[in-house]
């Protein structure tokens, strides 16, 4: 969704007449704008992959004999990206009653868990309890948690994963309590070009997300702020496996499984370059 909306924003600009004049100048404009979009989401790989595909599509159209600026615009606006696969278990595919109940963390400071995950659980009619991030370890100890499933914005070759900040500490707590820890991610979030999680660029967000609520300052004036949007979970903490649309793999098995798929079906899961 982030990739599609990001690229759609440029389509709106193009439709309004931005870029050019001429096909070559328009392609350069497209690449420049898409590169800027990617810098806004450096940790997630999907945005960069969609941007690369769109830039290449515009360039190929500009290279056609008799190409026009208008044709390049239309080709960008009409481009249909490759289907984005979703990694099971999607909640709607689970047998009714499979999940007795769920626990959703609030996900401070931006509260995605309270706004989005909680919505999905309610929509799927799965009994669930919302807790603060700092309550996760206590929930594992006292609320009968049997598994932890998180998402991922990027999975690298050795199985290290980057996800919303707080994921790393969930993995540590799950390991301590002997609870299997799973990462659910589509293969489009896998980046085999990077070997370890240390190579992943971590996005940092404005400090006001921590210091302010609805524009009102709640933190002490003068306090420093560190607000990374993601953290990296080492592969050895992913004890349950990495769940993709291709199957569930131990981190050490993932690269071989994805490489085999790429070899048989074409395509690439390397890091995109504009």
Q: For residue 124, tell me if it sits in a domain.
A: no
154: containing domain:
146-261
Q: For the packed helices 2-15 and 23-40, what is the interaxial angle rounded to 10 degrees?
A: 150
Residues 89 and 150 in one domain: no
Per-position pLDDT tens, the chain of length 274: 777 788 888 888 888 888 779 899 999 999 999 999 888 888 888 888 888 888 999 999 999 988 899 898 888 888 765 544 433 364 544 555 556 678 899 988 888 899 988 998 899 888 899 999 999 999 999 999 999 999 999 999 999 999 999 999 999 999 999 999 999 998 888 999 999 999 999 999 999 999 999 899 999 999 999 999 999 999 999 999 999 888 899 999 998 988 876 555 544 555 544 5
Q: 53, 77, 93: which is the final residue of a domain?
A: 93
Q: For residue 127, tell me if it sits in a domain.
A: no
Residues 222 and 157 in one domain: yes
- SS3 assignment, position 149: strand
Domains contained in the chain, number: 2
CA distance 44 to 34: 14
Residues 156 and 253 in one domain: yes
**Residue 155's CATH number:** 3.40.50.10470
Quote the pLDDT of residue 81: 57
Residues 237 and 152 in one domain: yes
CA distance 180 to 171: 9
Note if 231 is an active site residue. no
Q: For residue 113, tell me if it sits in a domain.
A: no
- Write b or e for each residue in 42-70: b if 16 or more Cβ atoms lie within 10 A of its Cβ, otherwise e: bbbbbbbbbbbbbbebbbebbeeeebebe
Residues 155 and 242 in one domain: yes
| CA dihedral angle for residue 193, residue 199, residue 200, residue 205, rounded to 10 degrees | -150
Q: For residue 20, tell me if it sits in a domain.
A: yes
| Location of structure tokens 């099971």 | 88
Quote the pLDDT of residue 9: 87
Q: For residue 117, tell me if it sits in a domain.
A: no
Q: For residue 222, tell me if it sits in a domain.
A: yes
Tokens of 1: 């969704």
Residues 62 and 156 in one domain: no
Q: For residue 13, tell me if it sits in a domain.
A: yes
- 133, 153, 212, 231: the active-site residue: 153
Q: For residue 126, tell me if it sits in a domain.
A: no
Q: 55, 78, 93: which is the final residue of a domain?
A: 93
Terminal Cα-to-Cα distance of the chain (whole angstroms): 20
Q: Are the C-beta atoms of 184 and 243 separated by less than 8 Å?
A: yes
Residues 7 and 87 in one domain: yes
Tokens of 79: 């481009």
């Amino acid at each position: 969704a982030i990739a599609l909306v990001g690229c759609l924003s440029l389509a709106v600009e193009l439709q309004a007449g931005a870029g050019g004049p001429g096909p070559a100048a328009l392609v350069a404009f497209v690449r420049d704008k898409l590169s800027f979009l990617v810098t806004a989401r450096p940790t997630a790989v999907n945005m960069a992959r969609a941007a690369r595909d769109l830039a290449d599509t515009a360039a190929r159209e500009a290279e056609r004999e008799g190409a026009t600026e208008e044709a390049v615009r239309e080709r960008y606006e009409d481009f249909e990206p490759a289907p984005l696969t979703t990694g099971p278990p999607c909640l709607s595919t689970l047998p009714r009653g499979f999940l007795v109940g769920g626990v959703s963390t609030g996900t401070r400071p931006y509260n995605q868990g309270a706004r989005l995950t909680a919505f999905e659980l309610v929509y799927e009619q799965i009994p669930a309890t919302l807790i603060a991030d700092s309550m996760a370890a206590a929930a594992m100890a006292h609320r009968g948690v049997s598994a932890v499933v998180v998402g991922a914005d990027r999975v690298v070759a050795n199985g290290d994963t980057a996800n919303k900040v707080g994921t790393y500490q969930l993995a540590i707590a799950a390991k301590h309590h002997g609870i299997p820890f799973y990462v659910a991610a589509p293969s489009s979030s896998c980046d085999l070009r990077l070997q370890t999680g240390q190579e992943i660029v971590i996005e940092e967000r404005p400090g006001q997300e921590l210091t302010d609520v609805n524009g009102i300052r709640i933190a002490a004036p003068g306090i420093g702020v560190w607000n990374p949007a993601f953290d990296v979970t080492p592969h050895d903490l992913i004890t349950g496996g990495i769940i993709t649309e291709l199957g569930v793999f131990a981190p050490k098995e993932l690269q071989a499984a994805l490489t085999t798929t790429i070899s048989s079906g074409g395509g690439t899961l390397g890091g995109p370059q504009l």
